[in-house]
Every structure is written in C-alpha cells, then in structure tokens.
Amino acid sequence: MSVTSRYREAWEGFWRDAPDDPGAVFWDAEPALTAGLHLALFEPHMSAAGLPLVDLGCGNGTQTRFLADRFPRVLGIDLSAAALDHARRADPAGQVDFRQLDVAATSEAEQLHAEVGDVNIYMRGVLHQCDPADRRPLLDSIATLLGDRGRAFLVELSEAARPVLLGLVQSPTGPPPKLAPIFAHGLAPAEAVDATVDEEVEAAGLTILAGAELPLTSTEFRPDGTRIELPARWLVVGAS
C-alpha cells in the first residue's frame, strides 16, 4: 500500500508554494528549539552504535542538516519531490543523502532496509496529519526499517493541539500568515487521537520505550509577540 494520492498532491502543492527563506514554513523552527532538544531525549535509547539515522518526512531538511553534523550517516526521506528540491538547494555540499520515497509502501521500505540495514529514525510531525488509512502502513514500514536494533523518536502534535490551531485559524484577524497555507492546501494537522496512535504503534509490533509531553515550537508569533507553541507528545519506540 502507498499513501493516498490526495495526501501526496497536497504536500507537493504545499512545498511548491513554500518560500526558501529559513523559518518561512510554520514548523521550520531552528534546530536548537527542535531536533537539538529531541536528541537529548532520544540518544539514551539508541541501543546500537553506528546505525544510520533516517530523518523521515524531512521536508526542506533544516533538522536533517543539523543531524548530519552529529551522526556519521544521515538520510533525509520525504514523499514530496518539491520538498526535496528545497532540501537540496539548502545543502549545496551534498552533506545529506536526500531521497524521495513513499515509506508507507511496504516494498520501498523493504528495499531501503535491504540497502542500509537497521536504522534509527527521527520523525517529527508526520503521523498526526496522515490520512487515517496511511498511518498503519507507515508504522509497519517504520518497524521494517528499525529491524531488531533500531529505535525511532516520534514527535507528534497531540489531540489537544487541534483546538489551539482552530482558534488561530478562526481568529477575527485571520490565521497567522505561516499557518494559513497548511489549511489552504488541504492538510489536516492534529487529526490523530493520542490513544489511537499508541494502539497503532503497538499493532505494528513496536514497543513504546519512553514518552512524555513537550510543546512543538513553531516559527510563528502571536500578536503580543509570544512564539506559538503547540501541545505535542514524543515517543521512543523499538522492536518488541
């Protein structure tokens, strides 16, 4: 199974229209506020030294480049060719191996695992806006990529983020400029229910090894100048 065509087309459209400017995308916060914080939580659970690290759903590669400074081999994987165009333009030295893959397609995940072996995975903000039919295949493919030794760090908006987002979108002054394109392109953040995500993780044969709440920092600000943060959860998962 591969992702729905609606989902693929929505992301292609979003990234084709997205500016190249750093921080121009709502979730494209600087790594010190995102992947840098997450690594401190993730690294203690990495049980096998030297595994490649896959940034799954890497988008324009901001976090991927940060990770590539800290691990010997990093792959940036995304469904969207337009997103990877952004990522490669921002990485002229070719530090990261960026690839277009539909990881929800079992055959593509199996092929990547056959090439690189077990991996660790960093995935931020993918499951919560997947079409429901795509979440389980994606998690099955994550289990394939992790194998016996890999660990995945998953960061997702919690269901508590949805009313916050709707409040921003329905503001009398209109949605914040960086948030509006997400809804305009038919993307649906914070759609997944927390308990359902946990059940789907476990149904894919993965064990939740750790987890807690940690707000997800955006690049957008409220009228009073405070940065918008959204309720989110992180999980570390691995083979049962």
The answer to whether residues 197 and 159 touch, using CB atoms and an 8 Å cutoff, is no
Comparing 194 with 147, the larger pLDDT belongs to 147
Residues in the chain: 240
Say whether pLDDT at 61 is over 60: yes
- For the chain, the 3-state helix, strand and coil shares in percent, each to the nearest 5, are 40, 20, 40
pLDDT of residue 120: 98
CA distance 109 to 201: 17
pTM, two decimal places = 0.95
Contact 25, 93 (CB under 8 A): no
Q: Is 12 helix (H, G, I), strand (E, B) or coil?
A: helix
212 bridge partner residues: 234
Task: Tell me, rounded to whole angstroms, the distance of Cα 229 from its chain centroid.
Answer: 16
Percentage of the residues of the chain whose pLDDT score is greater than 70:
96
Measured between its terminal Cα atoms, the distance across the chain in Å is 23
* pLDDT tens figures, 68-115: 999 999 999 999 999 999 999 999 999 999 999 998 888 999 999 999
User: Rounded to the nearest 5°, which phi and psi values hold at 93?
Assistant: -80, -10
- For the cut 70, the answer to whether the pLDDT of residue 2 exceeds it is no
Higher pLDDT, residue 147 or 129: 147
Q: What is the mean pLDDT of residues 112-140?
A: 92
